[in-house]
Structure 1
Amino acid sequence: MDRAIVYAGSIPLDTDVLRAGRYVKEGVGRLAEMLFGQGAMAASGLACTPSTTALSVTIGPGSILAPGALDATAIGGAGGGLAADTTAIACQYLNEAAQVVAIPSSGVTCTIYALCGEVDTDGTVLPFYNAADPAQTLAGVSNDGAALPTRRTGTMSFVAATSAPAAPAGGAVVALHTLTVPSEATTLAGVTPEAGQVFWPTIPELATLTLLRAATSPMALMAQSGMIGIPAWASRVELRAIGGGGGGSASNSQSTSGSFSGSGGGAGGDAWGVYAVNPSGADGLQVTVGAGGAQQMTGGTTQVVYQGQTLLQAAGGVPGAFYATQGSAGGIGGAASGGTIWNLTGGYGGDGQCGTATFAGYGGDGPWGGGGRCGADAGMAGTKFGAGGGGAYSIAGSTSAGGVSTGGAGYQGCVLYRFLP
């Protein structure tokens, strides 16, 4: 980092002090670039509180680190000072008091932008040395009594818009919070802002054992419907949803002309992805786990909903079913949607009978196998998440008193999750 040099007995100049300030700003900026990366943006504080009585939000105090210029304009003056230096550097901008920001209208999705720049403030009438009369102090330059700015500060203002505005000269525009405003709304009651990606975890948060363990731990399993809370340090969540397996088909052979070999149920769909979350919001992840399908019934859909929107879902497998007196086709796998890593359709269940030919009516395997085996007088149930049930087969007259050999049930779905910084 550069430092100004002065000497005993030399006459101090205004540029000695101005250069010291510029050197400090550049040194701190280069250090920030080492921590966050060149060109990165980071925000701290700046809480967004929606109004319950108007279409506005209040942005609290805080700071932003964003690219800017060392000095977009000359600093100092009155016969001295430093010329402008537009070298790009990471700059700090402050918001020292809460500001109210109006929302443009209802029925829109808008973003709160911070307009970051530097301004010269704190105007003061300064005393100047009078070379013509050393005993006299001048009030301002040439004794004109005019005030001069005494502080150059990085500051910010805010605007709500549907697209990014132009950046101030030598400054930056930073997207902070996004809000979806319902049509015909007159207030923002019930609206939850979604924080942007500029809100990084702090060093103490990154240093906690909780975060380190969570970031390196395997995905957790949720095998029943419910709510998952979001930890304070998280900004993303990795999710994998598996739909319930379809049930296997029965057989009802009473004679050689009847059906005697049922088909297997299809496996549930498989959706996997990573999604942004807001730990400061009140909402968690609402999980619905699809049940396994009973005999000849479709498996349930597994889905994860966040702030009223479905992130991903995996449909249940279709059951094995008879399409004719002696024809039983395996169920197709459930579809998947919303995944950012993949959306996989579940595996098919095995066919049962096709006229005089028979096939092994096994249930479709889930992601970890477990398709139910076809079984004499009763198909076997699926044994692992998302697996389909097996079909039943029987010889003429061997069925139970009800005349039906039961197909196996599909296995339920599940959700795997892991929070990330």
Structure 2
Amino acid sequence: MDRAIVYAGSIPLDTDLLLAGRYTKAAFGNLASMLYGPNVMAASGLGYSVSSSSLNLTIDAGSVLAPGVMDASAIGGNGGGLAADATALTCQYISAASQTITLPGSGNTYTIYALCSEQDADPTVLPFFNASNPSQTQAGLQNDGGTLPVRRTGAMTLVAATNPPVPPAGGCVVALYTITVPQGASTLAGVTVQPGQVFWPTIPELATQALLKASTEPMTLVTGNGSVSIPAWASRVELRAIGAGGGGAASQATTTASSFSGGGGGGDAWGIYTVSPTQGNGLAITVGSGGGSEQTGGTSLVSYLGQTLLQAEGGQGGTFYSTTGSAGGVGGNASGGTVWNQSGTSGGDGQCNAYTFSGYGGDGPWGGAGRCGNQGGRNATRYGAGGGGSYSATTDGASSSGGTGYQGCVLYRFLP
């Protein structure tokens, strides 16, 4: 790192001290780039708490490392000082006290942004030499008691918005958290706050078993469509997708067949994939819905950077192939898995001419197939399982529905 050199007997200049500050800032900036990589944003502290009586979100004190410049404007003055220097540098920005933000409303997803920039602070009345009489001092530049800032500080202001604000001059905008406020909500009670990708593990965490524990936790179950952010420490993700079960066949009193088939189970894809916390907006997850009576279940899939990583199709619904025959739904296909791609279990056949069968639904990975039932097939009870077929109706012309297939799911776990 650079250091200022001074000599005994020389007259110290304002630029000597200002340059010493620049050398120090450059040294810490280069060290931060070595630790985190160039142009990487990292946050420390800045914990949060939500209000149970309003739409207020409080962010604790903390700091951010982010791209900036040496000096966006001249520093010092009064005939001296240093000119602005636009040299790119990793800079530190500090929030010395907690800040409370009121979210603009409900029914929207907001991001908490830190607007990071350097500001001149601590206005002070400084003593200056009187050129006409050096033994006397002046209070301020013109002896008028005027103040001058004596500290240039990296500071941050927090805002909540749906789109990134315009970066301050010489500074940057850092996304800290996202929060989805349900429509009509008047408080943040029970609302989940999702940390951004800037919260990296600390060196003590990396040096202990904390990271190992995080990567060996049980897989997280997802039962609805959505997205998942990639932690800063992760380089891979383990995924498993289960397609939804198909619905069982319905029975009608006017149908010759008297025993009806079950729906097929959803496919099952499992794999491990490379990801990056600095690329894209995380994993996009789609979960298939269970098929209704005689309907095919929905497909479950996970995509990243616009490409599907793996998918599991839903099982087909139970069907009739003739007036005296009812075939069980075929299990869903699976693709994209690097560990396995397993087709779902087919549903049980219902009737073939004079022969009748059970008409149970196809099991999912954890069982749960719906059984065939009098005047209505039974619904499946576990992820990916098919519904059971119905084998009678109450009156002539009436219909008894087949059982509903159970929805699919996605499981994930991030790995170093």
Task: Say which of 323, 328, 331 aligns to 2:329.
Answer: 331
Q: Which residue of 2 aligns with 1:92?
A: 92
Distance 1:90-1:100 versus aligned 2 partners, 3 A rule: same
Please state if 1:26 is matched with 2:23: no
Q: Among 258, 265, 268, which residue is 2:266 paired with?
A: 268
User: Match of 1:207?
Assistant: 207
Structure whose alpha-carbon radius of gyration is higher? 1
- SS of match in other structure, 2:8: coil
Q: What SS is found at the alignment partner of 1:143?
A: coil
Find the aligned partners of 2:187 and 2:346 in 1 and give their Cα distance. Answer: 52
Q: TM-score, normalised by structure 2?
A: 0.64
Q: Is the 2:345–2:364 Cα contact (8 Å) retained in structure 1? A: no
Closer, same or farther: CA 345–107 of 1 in aligned 2, 3 Å: farther
**1:266–1:320 contact (8 Å) kept in structure 2:** yes
Task: Report what 2:374 is aligned to.
Answer: none
Letter in 1 for 2:122: D
Q: Is 1:174 aligned to 2:196, yes or no?
A: no
Corresponding position of 2:413: 418
What TM-score, normalized to structure 1?
Answer: 0.63
Can you give the 5+ residue segments of structure 1 that lack an aligned partner in the other structure? 226-232, 248-257, 277-287, 291-296, 305-311, 356-362, 368-384, 389-412
> In 2, distance between residues paired with 1:140 and 1:340?
73
Question: In the alignment, does 2:76 pair up with 1:76?
Answer: yes
Q: 1:343 to 1:54 in 2, by over 3 A?
A: farther
Is the Cα contact below 8 Å between 1:315 and 1:334 reproduced in 2?
yes
Superposition map of 1:100-139 within 5 A: 100-139=100-139
1:346 matches 2:316: no
What is the correspondence of 1:189-200 to structure 2 with a 5 Å cutoff?
A: 189-200=189-200
Q: Distance in 1 between matches of 2:145 and 2:312?
A: 75
Q: CA deviation at 1:80?
A: 0.8
Map 1:249-328 to 2 at 5 A.
268-271=266-269, 317-318=315-316, 323-324=321-322
Report the 3-state secondary structure (helix = DSSP H, G, I; strand = E; otherwise coil) of the residue aligned with 1:333. Answer: coil
Matched residue SS, 2:188: coil
After superposition, the C-alpha distances for 1:336-355 in whole angstroms (9 at most, x for unaligned) are 79x99999783685999999
Letter paired with 2:134: P
Q: Distance in 2 between matches of 1:341 and 1:22?
A: 52
Q: In the alignment, does 2:142 pair up with 1:145?
A: no
Distance 1:191 1:300, change over 3 A: same
Deviation at 1:317, TM superposition (A): 3.9
The 1:240–1:37 alpha-carbon spacing in structure 2 relative to 1, beyond 3 Å, is: same
Aligned AA for 2:208? Answer: T
- Contact 2:297/2:316 (<8 A) preserved: no
C-alpha contact 1:119 1:152 (8 A) present in aligned 2: yes
Corresponding position of 2:250 = none
1:193 maps to a residue whose letter is V
Cα separation, 1, equivalents of 2:33 and 2:39: 7
For 1:142 and 1:149, the matched residues in 2 are separated by 16
Q: Percent identity?
A: 62
**What is the rounded CA distance, in whole Å, between the counterparts of 1:43 and 1:222 in structure 2?**
25
> Which residue identity lines up with residue 60 of structure 1 in the other structure?
D
Aligned to 2:161: 161
* CA offsets 1:374-414 (integer angstroms, 9 cap, x no match): xxxxxxxxxxx9899xxxxxxxxxxxxxxxxxxxxxxxx99
Distance 2:31 2:83 in 1: 24
